[in-house]
C-alpha cells in the first residue's frame, strides 16, 4: 500500500521554531496538530542498516522483561517493539552511562540503531492511521480485509523549550516523529496527549499516563497498532464452551474456536507450536503450547517458550501438517510499570537525577515510563494496540545517598589533612548551652 507523502515527511522542528512556537497542541479541540520541519525530510535508511541486530535485541528484551514482570497466573501482553521505539528515541538524546545502559538492556548495536528502526518501520507499516473506531462494531462474514499496521512517534515538549537540534533532527529524519508543544501546567496538556493516544490506537488505549506533574519538561510517546484477518478463519466451525485449565490447577469454561487445516506446525521436548498466517503473508501468530499436564513439575512455562532460543528453534522447525486446533478467544490488556521493570534489568541512570539526556535538554531524567498494551483474538483475526510513554522532568539536585542527623550528642574534630594532627576535638552535648 502506498503511504501518503505527508507521513514520510519529517515531523520535527528546529530549536528556533520551538522557542517562537506555533499554537500549542492543547489549543486544539480535537487531535493535536503537529508542527512540521522545514527542509528536514524522512531519510531513506542505508541497505546495511543493522535490522537483524535490533530485531534480535528487541526479542531478547521482550523475554527478559517478561521474566521480571510476568505472574504465571495472570494474562500478559506487551509490545517489545513499542517499548524499544520509545527508548531508541530517548537514546538519541542520551550520553555516557545513561546511553550505555539503554544499549545493553535493549541489545542496541553501537552504530546504526536509528537507521535500523527507520528501515523496520518502512517494512512493517501499511497505513498512516488506524481505522476510525465504529461504535458497536461487530464483524460479519465476508471477504478478508487487508492488514493494517501503524507505528507513530511523537514528542510533547514544554512550549518554548529549547530542545537539542541533533536530537530533533534524528527524531524527524529516522522516526518521523511529530512535535506538539504543550503547557504542562494546564490540564489541556494531558488531554492533547491522550487524544493522540486514542487516535493512534483506534480508541483501544485511552490515556498515556494517569498524571502529568506541572514540572514535566517533555514526553516521548510511541504507538503500535495492528489489525489483521486470519488467512483461514475459524468461523467455519462452531465456537463452543470448552474447559480451560488455569495455571493454579482450577478450570473454567471458555468460548473455544476450532480449525482443521494444513498449517505450519512444530514440536519438541515439552512443547508444540502452530503458526496461524494472517492475510497478506507478512504476519503470523505463533501459538506456543507447553505439553504435559497441570502440576507436572518439569513442564515448561508459557514464558519459557518466548526465549530467543525457543523462538529460533520454532522458526526452524515449522513444517506443514494437517492440524486440528482448539484455541480460546481472548481479549485483555496489560499495564507495565517500565520504571520498576527496567531498573531490575539494568537501566538505572536514565531514571536517576544524574541521568545524561543532554542531547535533549540539560538536567533531565525519566520521571515516568509506562507501557500499555491490549489484544483481541477471535474467529476472524486479531486486533492489538500498544503505547509507550516516557515522561522527562528536571533532575534538580542529586539526592543524597545517605543522611546524617546530628540531633543527639556527637563528637567533632578539626584535623590537619596532610599530617592528621587534631587541632581541635570535642563533643556537643547541648548546642543550646553557651556555658
The predicted-structure confidence for 56-89, as pLDDT tens digits, reads as follows 999 999 999 999 988 878 899 999 999 999 999 9
- The per-residue b/e assignment along 55-85, b for 16 or more CB within 10 angstroms, e otherwise, is bbbbbbbbbbbbeebbeeeeebebbbbbbbb
Contact 149, 226 (CB under 8 A): yes
pLDDT band at 113 (very low <50, low <70, confident <90, very high): very high
pTM for this entry: 0.85
Question: Would the pLDDT of 188 be above 70?
Answer: yes
Where is pLDDT greater, at 1 or 312? 312
Average pLDDT over residues 360-375: 95
Distance in angstroms (rounded) separating the CA atoms of residues 324 and 301: 23
Residue boundaries of the structural domains of the chain: 5-228+333-394, 240-328
Cα 84 to Cα 116, 347, 357, 386: the distances in Å are 12, 13, 17, 12
pLDDT band at 22 (very low <50, low <70, confident <90, very high): very low
Task: Specify the pLDDT at position 110.
Answer: 94
Task: Specify the pLDDT at position 139.
Answer: 63
387's enclosing H/E stretch is strand 381-394
Task: Specify the pLDDT at position 291.
Answer: 86
Helix locations, 334-400, DSSP H: 338-345
Cα 123 to Cα 60, 127, 173, 254: the distances in Å are 21, 11, 16, 37
What is the number of helices (H) and of strands (E) in the chain? 10, 13
Question: Would the pLDDT of 419 be above 90?
Answer: no
Based on the number of CB atoms within 10 Å of its own CB, is 352 exposed (0-12), middle (13-18) or buried (19 or more)? middle
pLDDT band at 13 (very low <50, low <70, confident <90, very high): very low
Question: Would the pLDDT of 435 be above 70?
Answer: no
Average pLDDT over residues 217-246: 92
At residue 304, the 3 state secondary structure works out as helix
Contact 242, 385 (CB under 8 A): no
List pLDDT tens digits, range 36-59.
444 567 899 999 999 999 999 999
Which is nearest to 166 in space by CA: 19, 15, 18? 15
pLDDT band at 9 (very low <50, low <70, confident <90, very high): very low
Task: Specify the pLDDT at position 144.
Answer: 82
Render 30-55 in DSSP notation, one character per residue.
Answer: SSPPPB--SS-BPPPPPTT--HHHHH
Grid cell in block for residue 232: 483461514
Which is nearest to 87 in space by CA: 435, 389, 337, 329? 389
Contact 74, 66 (CB under 8 A): no
Cα 185 to Cα 215, 265, 285, 353, 368: the distances in Å are 7, 55, 43, 22, 17
Grid cell in block for residue 92: 538519541
Contact 202, 385 (CB under 8 A): yes
At residue 118, the 3 state secondary structure works out as helix
What architecture does CATH give domain 240-328? Roll (2.30)
Q: Where are the beta strands (DSSP E) in 230-355?
A: 240-245, 251-268, 271-277, 284-290, 319-328, 330-337
pLDDT band at 126 (very low <50, low <70, confident <90, very high): very high
Cβ atoms within 10 Å of 103's Cβ, excluding its own: 18
Instruction: For the domain made up of 5-228+333-394, give the CATH fold.
Output: Antithrombin; Chain I, domain 2 (3.30.497)
Amino acid at each position: 500500500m502506498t503511504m501518503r507523502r505527508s507521513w514520510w515527511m519529517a515531523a520535527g522542528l528546529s530549536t528556533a521554531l520551538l522557542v517562537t512556537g506555533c499554537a500549542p497542541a492543547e489549543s486544539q479541540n480535537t487531535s493535536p496538530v503537529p508542527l512540521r520541519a522545514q527542509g528536514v525530510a524522512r531519510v531513506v535508511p542505508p541497505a546495511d542498516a543493522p535490522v537483524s541486530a535490533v530485531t534480535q535485541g528487541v526479542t531478547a528484551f521482550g523475554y527478559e522483561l517478561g521474566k521480571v514482570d510476568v505472574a504465571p497466573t495472570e494474562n500478559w501482553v506487551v509490545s517489545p517493539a513499542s517499548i524499544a521505539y520509545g527508548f531508541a528515541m530517548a537514546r538519541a538524546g542520551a550520553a555516557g552511562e545513561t546511553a550505555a545502559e539503554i544499549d545493553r538492556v535493549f541489545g542496541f548495536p553501537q552504530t546504526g540503531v536509528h537507521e535500523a528502526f527507520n528501515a523496520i518501520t518502512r517494512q512493517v507499516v501499511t497505513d498512516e492511521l488506524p481505522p476510525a473506531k465504529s461504535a458497536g462494531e461487530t464483524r460479519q462474514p465476508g471477504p478478508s480485509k487487508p492488514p493494517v499496521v501503524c507505528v507513530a512517534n511523537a514528542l510533547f515538549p514544554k512550549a518554548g523549550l529549547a530542545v537539542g537540534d541533533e536530537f530533533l533532527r534524528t527524531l524527524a529524519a529516522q522516526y518521523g516523529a511529530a512535535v506538539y508543544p504543550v503547557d504542562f501546567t494546564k490540564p489541556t496538556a494531558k488531554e492533547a496527549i491522550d487524544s493522540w493516544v486514542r487516535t493512534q490506537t483506534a480508541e483501544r488505549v485511552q490515556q498515556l499516563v494517569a498524571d502529568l506533574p506541572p514540572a514535566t519538561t517533555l514526553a516521548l510517546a510511541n504507538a503500535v497498532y495492528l489489525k489483521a484477518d486470519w488467512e483461514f478463519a475459524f468461523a467455519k466451525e462452531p465456537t463452543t464452551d470448552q474447559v480451560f485449565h488455569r495455571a493454579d490447577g482450577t478450570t473454567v469454561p471458555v468460548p473455544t474456536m476450532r480449525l482443521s487445516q494444513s498449517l505450519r506446525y512444530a514440536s519438541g521436548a515439552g512443547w508444540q507450536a502452530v503458526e496461524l498466517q494472517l492475510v497478506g503473508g507478512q504476519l503470523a501468530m505463533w501459538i506456543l503450547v507447553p505439553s504435559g499436564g497441570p502440576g507436572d513439575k518439569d513442564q515448561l512455562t508459557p514464558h519459557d517458550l518466548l526465549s530467543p532460543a525457543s523462538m529460533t528453534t520454532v522458526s526452524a522447525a515449522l513444517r506443514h501438517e494437517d492440524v486440528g486446533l482448539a484455541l480460546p478467544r481472548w481479549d485483555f490488556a496489560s499495564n507495565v510499570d517500565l520504571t520498576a521493570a527496567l531498573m531490575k534489568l539494568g537501566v538505572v541512570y536514565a531514571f536517576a537525577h544524574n541521568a545524561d539526556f543532554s542531547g535533549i535538554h540539560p538536567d533531565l531524567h525519566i520521571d515516568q515510563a509506562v507501557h500499555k498494551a491490549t489484544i483481541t483474538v477471535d474467529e476472524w483475526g486479531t486486533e492489538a494496540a500498544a503505547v509507550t510513554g516516557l515522561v522527562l522532568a528536571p533532575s534538580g539536585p542529586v539526592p543524597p545517598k545517605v543522611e546524617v542527623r546530628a540531633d543527639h550528642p556527637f563528637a567533632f574534630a578539626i584535623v590537619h589533612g596532610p599530617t592528621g594532627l587534631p587541632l581541635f576535638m570535642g563533643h556537643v552535648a547541648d548546642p543550646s548551652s553557651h556555658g
